[in-house]
Structures are given as C-alpha cells and as structure tokens.
Chains A and B, each alone.
Chain A
Amino acid sequence: MIEDSRRAVIIPPSNAVFSENYPVSAIELRGVGKQWGGVVALSPSNMVIPEASFTVLLGPSGCGKTTTLRLIAGLDSATSGQLLVGGRDVTAAPPAARGVAMVFQNYALFPHLSVADNVVFGLQVRRTPKVEQTDRLARVLALLGMEHLRDRKPSQLSGGQQQRVALARALVAEARICLMDEPLSNLDAQLRQEMRQELRALQQKLGLTVVYVTHDQAEAMSMADQVVLLNHGRIVQSGSPREIYARPASAFAARFIGTPPMNLMALDGDTIAGSNVRVDTSPLATHVGLRPEHITLSGQVDAIVEGSEYLGADTLLRCSVGREILLARVTGQAEYAVGETVQLSWPEDSVHYFDRDGKRL
C-alpha cells in the first residue's frame, strides 16, 4: 500500500482525469509543455509527485528532464498547461513564490561569500531575524557536518564540500520541496556513491519532497521512490524502480534501465532471427527482451561464445544466437573460450515482448 501511494501517476493528456482519491500531491503537472520557438523541449505532460517522495526524472541528454525541473522551479515558464505546488496553481508565479529550494548542477555558489554567507543568503533576502539566521545556519551546518568550514570561501573547498554547501543553502530555506539538477555529476565515483546514500537518508529523515534530475540510471534506481523516464520530451514510463525494471513499457525503457542493459533480439516470425529458437508470442512482436541475469548456462538453446568480460563476482558472456547477440551474466568462475558452443536457457516468464513501435506487449 505504501509503495502504491508513492507512485507517480501518469495519465495521457487526452483523457486526463483527476479524482479526489489521489494521494496528497506536492507537485502536479497538468498538460505542462515547453516549446522554444518551434522546438519542443517538453510535450504536454501530466505528472503527480506525492509528498515526501523521492522522484527521479531520468533520461538521456536532451530528453526534457532538466526542462521539466526548471518549469517546476519557475526558472522557465511553461508554454502550455497548469502547474500546481501543494494544490496551489503556480503556473505564473515567480520562483520565490513557489516554496521550492534548488540545488544546481554547478552548485551556483556565490564565489565572494563565505560558506556561512552563502547558506544564509536566502534568509537575508527574506529578512529573517539575525538570531534565527544564526540558529538555522548552525543547525544545517551541523546536519551536514560542515561547522568547521563556515568561514571558507567556495574556492577553498573541494567539489564534495561545495556540493554540501549548495545542499545546505537549499535545506536552510526549510522548503518542503527540494529540486536537484544532477547534483552529483561533478563528483568522483567514490564520493558520488556516498552522497547518494546520504541524500536519500537526509530526504527520508526530513520528509522532503525531492525531485531529482539525472541521466545515470544507477543513481535513479538506488535513490528513487519513483522514476519518471523521459525521452525526446515525452514521459516514457513512470513507476517504482523495481516496477520499471521488471516491466519496462518500451524497448527504450528496457535498454535504458539496467547495467548491462536488457538483451533485445529481433524476431523472424516466431524464431530468434537467424536461428531455430522458437519463442512463444503473439504475431505482433518483432523483438524479445531478456535480462542478462535471467540466462542460465544449462538448456537447449545453442549459442556460440563471442567474448567474455570478467567482473569478479560475475562474468559477462557475449554469445551469438542466430544473427543476434546476447549478453549473459554468469558466475565469475566461468571460463569459456571464444568460439565455444554453450547451451543457454531462460525461464519463460522472464521474456519481454515488444512490437514494431517498441511498445511492450
């Protein structure tokens, strides 16, 4: 039930129905779209982001995820549709009137101000009393473990520390909604890993509604309550990470989520192209999809080893079946020579079918 209430609800614009019994939404997009001249950055989309959820907008570059975030923030204005924050129509409201905080990709720290001054910048704008400023500053610096850095300038901080300052500046506003535009993309891999867990823990601790933009599917999978997958300015699929992984709505979603990605093999009638391996499917299917980890090395499907990649715990085996290539994730000890014939099998219910438009069947 809890899982369900946290799911982003996507309804196609044509038959948009918004009934009373949706969970409390922090942010709601009703047919929101953005065009730059003739270029469509985001085609009219509907999206409901529930309160206290971690929602990730995921997609390749140019898919419209950052545009969506900027529309929510009010940094760009939508060319169509209606945007609600906390049930209030903010489509035409300036950024500051929307009650959102934001962490920018390049952090956008004021280079001439100390960490403390950067963090309280917004409080100074809003003329929060001095005592309260000091109090909130101390609290947020303690929360992020940065008390010792308060008098440093941004140029004297490491990338990770700058990232924390940007986060502190967003948190000190005590907005219920925090927007993040690829906040970890400028950090090294190790730090990124740590910050993922920290961000997620922080979001849950504070009960924040986070909208998080990334192109890194691993980041999305590990942090999100729900993932909204975009491509070419359209929402492709949304749901919990498990849901999208288990039932990708399209060939694009299937390939984009998961490392290594799902194997997609073209069909020739009801056999895998160039082979005599029959699959059980409707005549509409043109491709079958198979996750590498569902393939086992015992069965009836003949495949020829084309190469292998040793990853420690696992080995990725590149095999050809007919004209198609597939990756199989097998145990790390497995050693196969190139050209060797292996027998593969997979459970019937792990096969995904896609039609000629890439839609799931």
Chain B
Amino acid sequence: MNAQKQAHAWLLLLPALALLVTFTHYPAVATLIDSFMSTPKPNRASVFVGLDNYASMVDDPIFWQALHNNLWFALATIPLSVGLALAMALWVNGKIAGRGFLRMAYFTPTVLPMIAVANIWLFFYTPSYGLLEQAGNLLGLPSKNWLGDKATALGAITAVAIWKEAGFFMIFYLAALQGINPSLREAAAIEGASRWFFFRRVLWPLLMPTTIFVLINAVINAFRMVDHVVVMTRGGPDNATTLLLYHLYEVGFKFWDQAYAAAITVVLLVALATVALVQFFVLDRRAHY
C-alpha cells in the first residue's frame, strides 16, 4: 500500500524532475566538473587540470574588464530601474486621466523582444542621423557617437536596460499597491500625515516583500542580460561594453575554450547565488509579510 503510494508520488514528480535534471541540475554539475578539466581537442581528450582554468581567469585582463563593466552596469541598472518602477507605479496607481493607457505604455518595453528593442535604440544612438543626434542638432550640440565612444558606450547600454526593466518591475509594485487597504491612506490623512510621511512609514514597509523580489530579479538580470550588447556593440569599443555573460559567450563559442568558459560560469553562478541569499536572509528579516 505504502510502496504503491510512493510509486505514485514518484511517477507524478517524474515529468518535472526529468526536465529539471536534464536542463538545469545536470548541466550545472557538469559545468562544475568541466571547469576543473582541460578543453577536449580532436587529438587530445579532456584531462584533469585542477585550478588551471581559474588561474588563467585571474590572468585574463578582459575578464577583469568585463567584471568591472558588469559591476558598473549592475550598480546603475538595479537602483535606477527599481526606483523608476516604484515611481511609475505610485503614479499610475493614483486617480489620473488615461491611467489604463499609461499602465500599458509603461509595460510595453517588457513585451517587446530585446533584439527588436536594441535595434530601435541603435537608431536612437546612431551618429549623424540618429534620433539623439537630430535632437542635439536642433539644440546646436556637437555631434556625438554614443556607442562608438569608450566613455559613453557602457552608459548607453545601461540606459536601454533600465528602460527595458522598469516597466516590468512596475507591474509588481502596482499589484502590491493595489493590495494595500485604501483606508490606511484615509486613516493617515485624518492624522494629517504628509504624502512623504505616509510613504516612508506605511507604503515603503508594506512594499518591502515586493522590493526584495524585484531586487533579486534585478540583480539576476544585471548579470544575465546581453542580447542588446550582441546587437548594439558586440562588447566594443575596446571591450568597453563587454559584460561577464558576453565574455563568457565569446570564450565558449567563439574561441571555443569551453573549460575556461565553464570556470567563468561557476564564478558567475556562485556570485549570483551569494547575492541572492544575502538579500533574501538580510532583507527578509526586515520585511513585513
């Protein structure tokens, strides 16, 4: 009887388990193992090389450049996209004309595929006839190659990511705001609480669970988003816009150094998992559910 129940349970779990193991767990473990091996060549099988791959990572200047770029990218996209999302949600949660239209408008970037979005922005940034250039010409500003200049390329890429993400995060904030009892606002109004006081003492704490969720997603996305890099700059100029995942892609599939790519992947995964866990346990304790 019990054995039959057990069999049933396993059978029900099987489809999901098979998919997860095949595409998530096995690759992760395999990657970890591969990172300690050499890349297999036609004339030489893969052998155990210990920490060699990690050592070459330390000596790889492009890895450090990519990490550096990615940290700046994350540092700008995470707070800005989350902050913008919150601001937009607070705005479209109010009673304003055209609210439905605004909500849709803000959500549109999320619906559009990143490849398409990147091409649109490519046009914005294009020198001599791009949108920014045309606007600049009207104001009499000097011509600027936003994506071609090492100083502005990363910033330009970052702006696209913020634009793309804010609308998505806004939806979560909006849902959370809709779930807050409207008489709380009235109770605060009777006491004479200013909008800022009400936000700081009531809304922000009540939105904390949403903020944690959105932050974890923002961190993961900051290290995961490369579609627009591929379309817009291919990591250039001079690796100015190379993000970790793009570097990983180049190492693995352009230079075909799969063992080294596996090592980078492991570092990336460990870093992301650490950040997520810290966020989860530290912020979670301060959140009210």
Which chain A residues have a beta carbon within 8 Å of chain B's beta carbons?
Answer: 73-75, 94-97, 100-102, 104-106, 108, 110-113, 121-122, 124-126, 153, 169, 173
Binding-face segment, B109-117, B135-143, B180-188? B180-188
Question: Do A104 and B183 touch (CB < 8 A)?
Answer: yes
Question: Do A108 and B184 touch (CB < 8 A)?
Answer: yes
> Lowest 8 A-B CB distances belong to which pairs?
A96-B192, A122-B191, A112-B288, A108-B187, A108-B183, A112-B205, A125-B193, A95-B190
**What's the least CB distance linking B195 to chain A, in Å?**
12
Kindly report which residue of chain A lies nearest to residue B187, judged by CB atoms: A108
**What's the least CB distance linking A71 to chain B, in Å?**
13
Chain B residues with Cβ under 8 A from A102's Cβ? 186-187, 190
- How distant is the Cα of A337 from the Cα of B187 in the complex, in angstroms? 56
Instruction: Give which listed residue, A73, A110, A169, contacts B202 with CB less than 8 A.
Output: A110
Chain A residues with Cβ under 8 A from B197's Cβ? 125
- How distant is the Cα of A97 from the Cα of B191 in the complex, in angstroms? 9
- Give the number of residues in B that approach A within 8 Å (Cβ atoms): 18
Kindly report which residue of chain A lies nearest to residue B193, judged by CB atoms: A125
Question: Do B192 and A122 touch (CB < 8 A)?
Answer: yes
**B206 CB-CB contact with A under 8 Å:** yes
Kindly report which residue of chain B lies nearest to residue A122, judged by CB atoms: B191
Kindly report which residue of chain A lies nearest to residue B194, judged by CB atoms: A125
Question: Do B191 and A173 touch (CB < 8 A)?
Answer: yes
Kindly report which residue of chain A lies nearest to residue B185, judged by CB atoms: A108
- Decide yes or no: A106 and B183 within 8 Å by CB, A111-B206, A121-B201, A125-B197 being known contacts: yes
The prevalent SS among residues of B at the interface is helix
Of B187, B188, B197, chain A has the most CB atoms within 10 Å of the CB of B187
Question: Do A96 and B189 touch (CB < 8 A)?
Answer: yes
- How distant is the Cα of A282 from the Cα of B190 in the complex, in angstroms? 52
- How distant is the Cα of A124 from the Cα of B201 in the complex, in angstroms? 10
Question: Do B189 and A75 touch (CB < 8 A)?
Answer: yes
Kindly report which residue of chain B lies nearest to residue A97, judged by CB atoms: B192
Question: Do B190 and A73 touch (CB < 8 A)?
Answer: yes
- How distant is the Cα of A96 from the Cα of B191 in the complex, in angstroms? 5
- How distant is the Cα of A173 from the Cα of B183 in the complex, in angstroms? 18
Chain B residues with Cβ under 8 A from A112's Cβ? 202, 205-206, 288
Kindly report which residue of chain A lies nearest to residue B197, judged by CB atoms: A125
- Decide yes or no: A96 and B190 within 8 Å by CB, A110-B184, A111-B288, A121-B201 being known contacts: yes
What are 6 A-B interface contacts by the 8 Å CB criterion? A96-B191, A96-B192, A108-B187, A121-B193, A122-B191, A126-B191
Question: Do A108 and B186 touch (CB < 8 A)?
Answer: yes
Question: Do B192 and A125 touch (CB < 8 A)?
Answer: yes
**What's the least CB distance linking A129 to chain B, in Å?**
17
Question: Do B181 and A121 touch (CB < 8 A)?
Answer: no
Question: Do B190 and A101 touch (CB < 8 A)?
Answer: yes
Kindly report which residue of chain B lies nearest to residue A104, judged by CB atoms: B183
Kindly report which residue of chain A lies nearest to residue B191, judged by CB atoms: A122
- How distant is the Cα of A74 from the Cα of B183 in the complex, in angstroms? 13
Chain B residues with Cβ under 8 A from A113's Cβ? 201
- How distant is the Cα of A273 from the Cα of B2 in the complex, in angstroms? 75
Chain B residues with Cβ under 8 A from A124's Cβ? 201
